[in-house]
């Protein structure tokens, strides 16, 4: 009897967790569609999905990832810098060949996966200090870069909170 009760409690918790993840993903899609008029609905779904996957794998806050994407490429998948950084998160292939492993760095899923791995590595090197990790990630881009990310983080979190309240079952 106790095993059955524990099983059903765990099942209920898992269902609640899965529901919360789905709501968060839909909230990210909603925020992207409102704030980024220049990207397609299919790209919105890919970005939101991959950002949530990387949150589960690496614990990277989706709002931070979206802030980096805005600061680095303004959500343009084909963005390229004079320095050779490419894609949404402006990954530099010559520095991250081991993470790219021959894949197309312009492909949004690959770019977000590699970009969040670079940020994860920077967070580890900087002992969890986000400001220092952002300096590491961006090569020292400075205050404006961090302000953009902080503003996006605030917008996304507020939108997610409101979205969750408005979409309660």
For residue 86, what are the β-bridge partners? Answer: 80, 91
Which of 51, 56, 55, 83 is closest to 70 using CA atoms? 51
For the chain, report the end-to-end CA distance as a whole number of angstroms. Answer: 30
DSSP sequence for 59-112: ---HHHHHHHHHHHHTT-TT-B-TT--BTTTTB-TTT-HHHHTTS-TTSHHHHH
Catalytic residue among 54, 72, 107, 113: 72
Place of tokens 């009760």: 5
113 is catalytic: no
Catalytic residues, which ones? Answer: 72
């Amino acid at each position: 009897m106790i095993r059955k009760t524990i099983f059903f409690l765990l099942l209920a918790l898992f269902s609640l967790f899965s529901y919360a993840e789905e709501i968060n993903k839909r909230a990210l899609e909603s925020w992207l569609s409102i704030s980024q008029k220049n990207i397609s609905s299919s790209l919105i779904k890919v970005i939101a999905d991959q950002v949530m996957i990387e949150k589960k794998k690496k614990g990277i806050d989706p709002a931070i990832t979206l802030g980096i994407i805005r600061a680095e490429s303004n959500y343009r998948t084909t963005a390229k810098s004079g320095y050779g950084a490419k894609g949404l998160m402006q990954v530099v292939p010559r520095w991250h060949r081991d993470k790219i492993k021959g894949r197309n760095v312009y492909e949004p899923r690959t770019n977000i996966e590699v970009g969040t791995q670079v940020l994860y590595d920077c967070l580890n090197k900087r002992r969890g200090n986000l400001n220092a990790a952002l300096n590491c990630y961006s090569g020292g881009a400075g205050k404006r870069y961090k302000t953009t990310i902080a503003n996006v983080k605030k917008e996304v979190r507020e939108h997610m909170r409101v979205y969750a309240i408005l979409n309660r079952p």
